Chain A
Amino acid sequence: MAGCYGAGALSSLLARWSGRLALGVGHVAALAGAVAGLGVSLSVLLGGPGYPLTLPLPDLFPFARLSLTVDGLSAYFVLVISVVAVAAAIYGPAYLRAHSPDARPPRQAAQALALNVFLGSMTFLCFAGDALTFLFCWEGMTLASYVLVVSDDQDGEKARAGLLYLVMAHAGTALLLVAFLALTERAGAFDFGALRAAAAGLDPTTRTTLFFLALGGFATKAGVVPLHVWLPRAHPAAPSHISALMSGVMLKVAVYGMLRVGFDLLAPAGGPLPPSWGWTVLILGTTSAVLGVLYALQQHDLKRLLAFHSVENIGIILIGVGLAMILWQTEGPGGVLATVALTAALLHTVNHAAFKGLLFLGAGSVLCRTHVANIEELGGLARRMPWTAGLFLLGAIAISALPPLNGFVSEWLTFQVLLGGAARFHGPAGLGIVFSAAMLALTGGLAAACFAKAFGVTFLGRARTPHAERATEAPPSMIAGMMWLAVVCVVLGVAPGYAMRLLDAPTALLLHGPGASAVVTARGPLVLSAGLTPSGSSATAISMTVAAALLVALTAIAWVLRRGVGRAPRRVAPTWTCGMRPTARFDYTATAFAKPLRLVFAALYRPRREVIRETAGTPYVVRRIRYAGEIVDLSETQIYHRVERGISELSQAIRARSTGRIYGYIGFVFGALFVALLWYGVGP
């Protein structure tokens, strides 16, 4: 696997002769690496015991021994990475050629190199067996994705997005560094085994502080509200298959980090996790889910909208993780509910990777055929790009958590755990969990509204601009990439029970309890069940397979009905527009579609609208009308702008003090050194 990604990275050297060749070879190598990753992770997850397996790496540093560790959790996340990486590698070359046909070889070489470094560092981050490898891969992932974000176009907006991303990512990395270094200093070594041993002796306050430091670092990467501001800017800026990887996979690597640190490295031996951990994660998750979807609803840039939905889905995953933290070892014997919670979170991880990857690839097909990102300028694409439209619709149904696709399965499990947790806890804690359930239900409904808008305005109706009118279907290799993810969505939706076996190893590893399949698919692989009562006697059971079969059968019956009685004529006529000649101006726009919800949630959006009318003498004859509207991101105005103002005021003050003469600066440096020596040098 390393060889494949390494070869892919080296392939950028081919760009000396041909950029296209470099891209092609780079993506083939990435595909090979991803297939190898699939193979390795599946063999670990299905292979049974014999893990964790530790492979030493060559000694690069005198002070630390580097190693790779393969266990259930890391194998599962490598599986998630590889599933999307396969699609991205198939999709990528055709997309880059179609989107920017006049790209020069150096840029193509950089893209091929960065793609392979990106995939490689994510994979080996999951396999890291020590803190140093972990942090190296973390940094490699950040830098490679930064290169990919700014690689697309020479555009000031994208460069700014990339810069914001880099700054936020490094702020997060700094938090992680502090957390890990504090642990390694106590352990005297870098490998996870030693860290685990060192963490066992921590006092509760230090443990919780370290967890929150790490959580802050991972939450920045995962785009949790209010640390999400970089995400909706950076993800759309990258080429679409990279957006799919960043949204579908890179955020999940942060979730992997949270699970690894929370349940494994820092977890107190034999006792429950401190309650503050789980509740914080649950609250962060609920907030992210609701705010993510609410902001997504008002976006008109297709990829930006999808990026906000990533914030939402990370929130849903974190709800599961938080519940698992709260319930683990607090619920008495069995610990069944925590297993279901973790199963829901992990299942939503792979589900979100599949449908978000699919949607980003679909958005990429639209983008490379029309070169328009604003959905208001699209429309009517379903007749010009039927495959892309169909696959996008599938992804839209999946992400809206509608049966019979995979989004519904993981949200169903999350609901069951929320309900079970509420029944278990009673009192204010139970009420908090119930509120979280209501918010999750709201999230699902709003996501459906958002995707009805996104799909309808982009693909249906009439083409609003010549760009949309001239669109043609995407090339077959791009369709194939999307098709792979669509198949994953359908399979995970219709027969999720078979995927539960893959979750056995990670759940058993983290919770030291029964595996996922022993709990969720206790009644056979086709039936999902989740016990709400402690005894689990009256478990709720559903069968996605039977429900899907019923849906298909009823569709067949309805199809017969639809054909009608007898052979009645069918004709085509223009849409009724009250007697006027229909034009694209009659189509409902995305702004109009989302307006009622904008007004309902006005307290949150603080919408601003500006209408300028140009009339001819009398107010009844309007010559021209100009409309501008915008909404604000509350965390941006309330937190970030204030921080920004503080920093610029501080730097103004510093600028007033700085003279510009070199002696002054040397004096400052010496003064600082003197004070530092006085402070620390006078010791015992």
Chain B
Amino acid sequence: MSERSLGLVLLTTALLALLGPLVTGFIQKLKARLQCRQGAGVLQPYHDLVKLFRKGTVQADTTSGFFRSIPVLVLAATMAAGALVPVVRAGPPPVPLGDALMLLGLLALARFLTSVGALDAGGAFGGMGASREMTIAPLVEPVLMMVVFSAAVVAGTTELGALAAHRGTSWILGWHAPDFLGFAAMLVLLPAETGRIPVDNPDTHLELTMLHEGMLLEHSGPGLGCMVLASHTRQIVTLGLVSALFFPVAATGVGALGLLVGAGAFALKILVLAVYLALVESSYAKLRLFRVPLYLGIGFVCALTALALRIL
């Protein structure tokens, strides 16, 4: 089995962190066009980040010593999760690093720390956001894990690179019924995991609708910049996870040309999923919080059926 070298892993990690804002910018632009607006440029998230990193910090007077380190740890955990995604080539890295469970664990760590940080400032908004986020998360994670399992049962491994290699390049022609069901479950979960409509609304701080944004309210300046960059990264990592599980990744990209082809293919896959997110966001309304478990239930049923079909 071909392997991803360590340098490639580090390079793609940096690439994911750098391209994360671009995906958000693209989705925003597409949404604006779908709503017949001009919209901000695709590069707007980068401008926002640069501005945030230049600004000063206003910190709440009730916060503890943990508060300042929360954005750092959240960003680090999210980027570490990015290192586990096979981007341009399939195959396990030469030094075992982590598998899909580790990836989900690191994302959960980032979420746990974010919600702890939200409780630190002692405002009702932070607590509300944290409470809702920690309500949705335990319902999303088992379903995500089951989707991963439904792929892993066949491949005999939970390492993402090896899973992608096992998927091969024939893509949809090689799909069985469980693949379709698993993909359907993943499409249901994607908005929840990336914090988008119909589960969360990334564009608002209104207390009735927010989940993730509520937790960021008390962060400011570079700290907020880290948190925003982390949520961009989280989005592209989640999309990368989906494409590693369900789309083909070239197993034998050789030389510079192979890498270029792999990078191009990755960009295309992310683009497709981003278009999906933008379409869903423009055509649905946000669900009431207590409707969300029902919505996630659809994903659960799909994932369970996919897994059952694999095993039976």
Interface residues of A (CB under 8 A from B): 379-380, 382-383, 386, 389-390, 393, 397, 400-403, 408, 412, 415-416, 419, 422-423, 425-427, 430-431, 434-435, 437-439, 441-442, 444-446, 448-449, 451-453, 455-457, 459-462, 523, 527, 529, 531-533, 537-543, 546-547, 550-551, 554-555, 557-559, 561-566, 568-577, 582, 584, 586-588, 592-597, 599-600
Contact = CB atoms under 8 A, between A and B. Distances in A.
Interface stretch (B130-138, B171-179, B236-244, B263-271): B130-138
Interface in B96-134: 96-99, 101-102, 105-106, 108-109, 111-112, 115-116, 118-128, 130-132, 134
B108 A568 contact: no
Most chain B CB inside 10 Å of its own CB: which residue of A380, A551, A571: A551
Given A523-B96, A570-B57, A593 B145 contact: no
Given A461-B122, A540-B99, A542-B96, A438 B152 contact: no
A378 B123 CA distance: 16
A423 to B, nearest CB: 5
Q: Is the interface of B mostly helix, strand, loop or mixed?
A: helix
A18 B165 CA distance: 71
A427 B311 contact: yes
A600 to B, nearest CB: 5
A572 B61 CA distance: 6
A600 B222 contact: no
B222 A438 contact: no
B222 A561 contact: yes
Contacts of B135: 449, 596-597, 600
A40 B92 CA distance: 41
B61 A389 contact: no
B157 A538 contact: yes
A599 B304 CA distance: 24
Contact of A547 (B66, B97, B134): B97
7 contacts: A431-B308, A446-B138, A449-B134, A532-B156, A547-B102, A561-B229, A562-B226
Interface stretch (B28-36, B76-84, B247-255): B76-84
Given A393-B116, A555-B76, A586-B123, A542 B97 contact: yes
Contacts, number: 310
A379 B72 CA distance: 24
Contact of A564 (B55, B58, B109): B55
B15 interface: no
Contact of B75 (A438, A445, A558): A558
Contact of A438 (B111, B130, B145): B145
B59 A573 contact: yes
Contacts of A586: 122-124
B221 interface: yes
A442 B142 contact: yes
Contacts of B137: 445, 448-449
Contact of A568 (B56, B109, B226): B56
B92 A456 contact: no
Given A427-B312, A434-B307, A456 B57 contact: no
Contacts of B106: 403, 551
A18 B240 CA distance: 67
A577 B123 contact: yes
Nearest to A534: B156
Given A538-B157, A570-B57, A600-B135, A400 B112 contact: yes
Given A541-B99, A564-B53, A597-B135, 13 more contacts: A419-B149, A456-B115, A461-B62, A462-B62, A540-B162, A551-B77, A558-B73, A564-B222, A572-B59, A572-B60, A576-B125, A586-B124, A600-B139
